[in-house]
Amino acid sequence: MNVLVLGLGNVLMNDDAIGVLAVERLQQEYQFPEGVKVVDGGTLGLDLLPFIEDADQLLIIDALEMKADPGSVFRLVGEEVPRAFASKLSVHQMGLQDLLAVADLQGYAPRELIFWGVQPASVEMNMELSPPVAAAMDELIQSVVSELGNWGVRLEKAA
């Protein structure tokens, strides 16, 4: 089993940083077993292809415009992920769309793809999450931990 947890976002653009901040928190709070990589993907786009090539299961965390209340946490599965990024606004949406398309074309598409996202309140030059998105962080982390558990990944709390 090769699992990749990929946090995306730009830490300079307040709520767009949620994916990166979530993986940082996961790395601080949990010990991950062999076969599970947790990666801060920032806004790297196609540069992340080598990570995806080895992943059987891919869990992406990011902010995404879903026309919901700010701070709403949502889950997308499989084909819903590229479709959502095709029609929604995200600072790096094209990078993720391209990454998934190239992985698929090269035969490296993960067997399972799940996206956990948060509706941003603001994507402006600011290095702090807005209050509703910051308040959603605990729910997002628990959702990701639970999802990994569904995949058979048992996490230990960090010492």
pLDDT tens-digit map of 40-75: 988 777 788 888 998 999 999 999 888 999 999 999
User: Are the CB atoms for 40 and 23 separated by under 8 Å?
Assistant: yes
- The number of distinct structural domains making up the chain is 1
Q: Which amino acid is at 71?
A: G
CATH (domain of 99): 3.40.50.1450
Would residue 43 count as lying in a domain?
yes
Domain span at 55: 3-154
List per-residue pLDDT tens for the chain, 159 residues long.
Answer: 899 999 999 999 899 999 999 999 999 999 999 999 999 988 777 788 888 998 999 999 999 888 999 999 999 998 888 777 665 455 455 577 778 888 888 888 899 999 999 999 988 898 899 999 999 999 999 999 999 999 999 999 987
**By C-alpha distance, which of 108, 82, 111 is closest to 97?**
82
Would residue 159 count as lying in a domain?
no
Would residue 39 count as lying in a domain?
yes
pTM as predicted: 0.91
